[in-house]
Chain A
Amino acid sequence: MAAETPSLLPHEQPLPPRKDLWTAAAFLVLGLAIVSLAWSMPRYKEQKGEIYTAPGLVPGIYGLIITGLSIWLAVRSIRRGAHSEAAATPETAHDGSSNLRLALAAGLALLFCVGLIGRMPFWMAAAVFVTAFIALFEWRPGVPWGLRAKLLATALLQGVVTGIAVMLVFEKIFYVRLP
């Protein structure tokens, strides 16, 4: 039974300890930076400000807690063998996951937000983005040119329809301003 039914709390398996150690280090830096910046904030003593209304008090406490928690995570990951040889072995990739696809999606998103929006009407920017996104992700080597042209045409059609539909629906029906 147990073999066929996953554990009742389906959340992820723990990360390799070395990854947790790096995560702890990043959070430690963040926590210390918050504490340092909070400490340097004014306390308004000249305005008879009390310590508990000082702007840096609450973020400073959060910074201290984040620092403490990251130390806890670091200690735990070391205890779990973050320094061992086994922890240094490269992790096997997720089944079917692709960092190339991730980078492409993130790059296109960035290009859309930084490079296209504001430089042309929003509907056009959306159309270019959607068309490029579909065309690049559906690109397969060795596909006959006829089929490729059909795929590109449908991508272009979906891009233009998306751009115009978004403009009409949000500007005319929801009265939302578009970028």
Chain B
Amino acid sequence: MLDSLGQFGGALWGFMSPGILFTVLWATFLGIVIGALPGLTATMGVALMTTLTFTMPHTQAILVLVCIYVGAIYGGSRSAILLNIPGTPASACSTLDGYPLARQGLAGRAMGISTAGSWLGTLFGTLCVAAFTPVLSEMALKFQSFEFFWISLFGIVIAGTLAGGDPLKGYMAGFLGLWIATIGQEPHYNYQRFAFGSTDLAGGIGLLPALVGAFGVAEVLQAMRGPAVKAVSSTIDSVIPRISDVVQHWRTILRSGAIGTFIGILPGLGEDTAAWSSYAAARRASKEPEKYGKGSVEGLMSAETGESACVPGAIIPVLTLAVPGSAPAAVLMAAMMIHDINPGPNLMLQTPEFFYQIVAMLVIADMSKLLFGLTLVRPLLWILLVPRERLMPVVFVLCVVGAYAITSRVFDIYVMLFFGLVGFILRELKFPMAPMILGLVLGDLLEKNLTRGLVLSDGSLLPFFTRPVCAVLAAITILSILWSIPAVNQATRGLFRRQPR
């Protein structure tokens, strides 16, 4: 315990240089701006900055990305409160009570609640990262290929089932992502799959150009197609959070923190599910449920705490299992791989100092977010008023630079464009994006572990079902698929429904 605290203190101290603190400040600020601007999401911000920071030392690059992630999830609440338009999908829940509060002339108080809830949520989640990651890593060290295969598949299926909308389309998106990950040379015979003689395709689809396309370009297209955002009122009361708002709702904060972190740990779900689940739980437990949706302080606090606790929560499975808990965490994991950091159970053995650095990064990003939350009101209002016609071309230029930056291949710009179009069409057809990203990120892991497992078992499928952890994961995976079939779902509910006497 003392040793861990010492290592954490050392990691935190390591970041206390003016240069790194300046990096923390600009990255968090940029994250808040990205989150606040409707149309730009945390995933896009992290993907874009991954490519643009890859020449930095790895600790600094990951620090930038963590700050962007933490800042963007918080920043989304600004436009949710002031414009009634969620800056990121995660902030959709905050519009329910944030905007009514703003309309009552309490925009500053709403932003104060958002700041306090978000700060405490991330702090709660970070404590969970510090407490649970070493334990989970130790458990995961006993896993073999069979378990990792199921963890990957479980992640994609769970993301498909619960990421929102239609589970069937979620599965389709997930397997589409997995298939895309097979394009290029395969690991056993270096056979070029689906390359059609193209040397560029034989090199595989770059993960980051695809992500920058599916998020950045698709979001530019969506923003330009959609209606213009209306101007906001600029009269704002004090944004300093009230102590009474925090003390009065301590139960809500703890509950939402726990729910947000837990949902973060589940692969692929992410901050929007965390916010809605925390909000629903808070309303069920509330003494004043009738105020929800009309400007409830408790409702806004629960949504903000839940979504922000999800950020560290989503990093826990990255560090322990190499399975991301959310879409931005998937990109963060890809960034770690690019910087030769191997996320997964061996991380605690090979580079334990990196784990403590991640905890320290989350803490200072959270503090930086608090600082901006208390001070940065007027400049953010101006930024929110930048018309999309002037913002989106700049975002697109950055997407192009980002897609090209890693391998300096013009082909990657075309990949970005292609995935931008595919991402846009899939969104229009109501396909969730999180399972596709998870498929892209986990495709390699899944294939390697499936074939390695089959080689180890001499082609037998039995160990995939008989090993204890595998059996549990297989059962949950199969049950969640069955649960998403309406007929099975209704029949099961019918079985457990209490019969009237």
- Binding site of A, secondary structure by majority: helix, strand, loop or mixed? helix
Asked if A134 contacts B293 (CB within 8 A), the reply is no
Report the bound CA distance from A166 to B490 in whole Å: 55
Query: B245 near A: Cβ within 8 Å?
Result: no
Spot the interface stretch: B67-75, B184-192, B248-256, B348-356: B184-192
Q: In the complex, what distance in Å separates the CA atom of A176 from the CA atom of B48?
A: 13
Contacts of A12 in B (CB 8 A): 165, 430
Chain A neighbourhood of B272, CB < 8 A: 10
Task: Given A63-B179, A73-B172, decide whether A5 and B227 contact each other with a Cβ distance below 8 A.
Answer: no
Given the known A-B contacts A23-B429, A106-B421, are A96 and B226 also in contact in the complex, defined by CB atoms under 8 Å?
A: yes
Given the complex, which residues of B lie within 8 Å of A76, measured CB to CB?
A: 168
Whether the pair B454, A52 counts as a contact (CB closer than 8 A) is: yes
Question: Nearest chain A CB to B402's CB is how many angstroms away?
Answer: 9
Instruction: Assess whether A137 is in contact with B189, with CB atoms less than 8 Å apart.
Output: no
Tell me which residues across on chain A come within 8 A of B3, comparing CB atoms. Answer: none
Q: Is A81 an interface residue (CB 8 A)?
A: no
Q: A5: which B residues are within 8 A, CB to CB? A: 96, 292-293
Nearest neighbor of A98 in chain B, beta-carbon distance: B225
By a CB distance below 8 angstroms, the chain B residues around A73 are 168-169, 172
**In contact, B166 and A14 (Cβ under 8 angstroms):** yes
B170-184 with Cβ < 8 A to chain A: 171-172, 175-176, 178-179, 182
In B395-425, the 8 Å CB interface with A consists of: 396-398, 400-401, 404-405, 408, 410, 413-414, 417, 420-421
Cβ-closest chain B residue relative to A108: B393
Chain B positions 37-70 with a Cβ under 8 Å from a chain A Cβ: 51-56
Residue A85 interfacial (CB < 8 Å)? no
Q: For chain B, residues 212 to 250, give those with C-beta under 8 angstroms from any C-beta of chain A.
A: 217, 220-221, 224-228
A6 to B, closest residue via Cβ: B96
B498 within 8 A of A: no
Select from chain A the residue with minimum beta-carbon distance to B454: A52
Name which residue of chain A comes closest to B217, CB basis: A109
Q: Which residue of the partner chain B has the closest CB to A135?
A: B389
A130 / chain B contacts, CB cutoff of 8 Å: 393-394, 397
Give the A-B pair count, Cβ closer than 8 A.
Answer: 189
Instruction: State the majority secondary structure of interface residues on B.
Output: helix
| Measured CA separation A69–B166 after assembly (Å) | 12
Chain A residues within 8 Å of B342, by CB: none
Q: How far is the CA of A30 from the CA of B293 in the complex (A)?
A: 44
- Interface presence of A133 (CB below 8 A): yes
Say whether, besides A15-B429, A105-B224, A158-B390, A113 and B400 are in contact (CB < 8 Å): yes
Count A-side interface residues using an 8 Å CB cutoff: 77
Are A109 and B405 neighbours in the complex by a CB distance under 8 Å? Answer: no
Give Cα distance in the complex from A133 to B166, angstroms.
35
A1 contacts B400, C-beta separation under 8 Å: no
Which of A19, A30, A55 has the most chain B CB atoms closer than 10 A to its own CB? A55
Nearest-neighbor residue (CB-CB) of B399 within chain A? A109
Q: Given the interface contacts A11-B432, A23-B429, A69-B171, does A55 sit within 8 Å of B186 by beta carbon?
A: yes
Choose from B194, B225, B396 the contact partner of A97 (Cβ within 8 Å): B225
Min CB distance, B2 to chain A, in Å?
39
Proximity string of chain B (368-409) to chain A, C-beta cutoff 8 Å, 1 when within and 0 when not? 000000000000000000000110111011101100110010
B188 / chain A contacts, CB cutoff of 8 Å:
44, 49, 53, 55
Q: Are A1 and B193 in contact (CB under 8 A)?
A: no
B191 near A55: Cβ-Cβ < 8 Å: yes
B79 to chain A, nearest CB (A): 15
A110 contacts B by Cβ under 8 Å:
yes
Assess whether A94 is interfacial by the CB under 8 Å rule.
Answer: yes
Most chain B Cβ neighbours within 10 Å, of A65, A109, A163, A175: A109
A118 at the interface (CB under 8 A from B): yes
> B276 touching A179 by the CB < 8 A rule?
no
Q: Which of A38, A65, A105 contacts B392 (CB 8 A)?
A: A105
The distance in angstroms between the C-alpha atoms of A5 and B451, with both chains bound, is: 48
A65 to B410 alpha-carbon distance, docked (Å):
33
Docked-complex contact A50 and B459, CB < 8 angstroms: yes
| Shortest Cβ distance from residue A168 to the other chain B in the assembled complex, whole angstroms | 12
Contact residue among A53, A62, A158 (Cβ-Cβ distance under 8 Å from B178): A62
- CB-CB contacts of A44-86 with B at 8 A, as 1s and 0s? 1001011111011111001101100110110010000000000
CB proximity to B under 8 Å, residues A129-179: 129-130, 133-134, 137-138, 158, 162-163, 166, 170, 174-179
The answer to whether A62 touches B179, judged by C-beta atoms less than 8 angstroms apart, is yes
Query: Given the complex of chains A and B, what is the CA–CA distance between A11 and B433 in angstroms?
Result: 12
Within 8 A of B (CB), among A90-124: 94-99, 101-102, 104-106, 108-110, 112-113, 117-118
Q: With A and B bound together, what is the CA distance between A99 and B428 in angstroms?
A: 12
B221 in contact with A179 (CB, 8 Å) = no
CB atoms of A162 and B394 under 8 A apart: yes
Q: Is the CB of B410 within 8 A of A179?
A: yes
Chain A residues, CB < 8 A from B172: 27, 66, 69-70, 73
Query: Which residues from A are CB-within-8-Å of B400?
Result: 112-113, 117, 179
Contact of B175 (CB < 8 Å), options: A65, A95, A101, A110: A65
8 Å CB contact of A174 from B52, B178, B194? B52
The residue on A at minimum CB distance from B289 is A1
**Known pairs A9-B276, A110-B417, A133-B389; A58 contacts B182 (CB<8 A):** yes
Contacts of A58 in B (CB 8 A): 182, 447, 450-451
Contacts A/B (CB < 8 Å), 20 sampled: A8-B279, A9-B276, A10-B272, A14-B430, A34-B194, A42-B189, A50-B455, A55-B188, A66-B179, A69-B171, A102-B221, A102-B224, A105-B221, A105-B224, A109-B221, A130-B393, A133-B389, A138-B389, A170-B405, A176-B54
Interface residues of A (CB under 8 A from B): 1, 4-6, 8-12, 14-15, 19, 23, 27, 30, 34, 37-38, 41-42, 44, 47, 49-53, 55-59, 62-63, 65-66, 69-70, 72-73, 76, 94-99, 101-102, 104-106, 108-110, 112-113, 117-118, 126, 129-130, 133-134, 137-138, 158, 162-163, 166, 170, 174-179
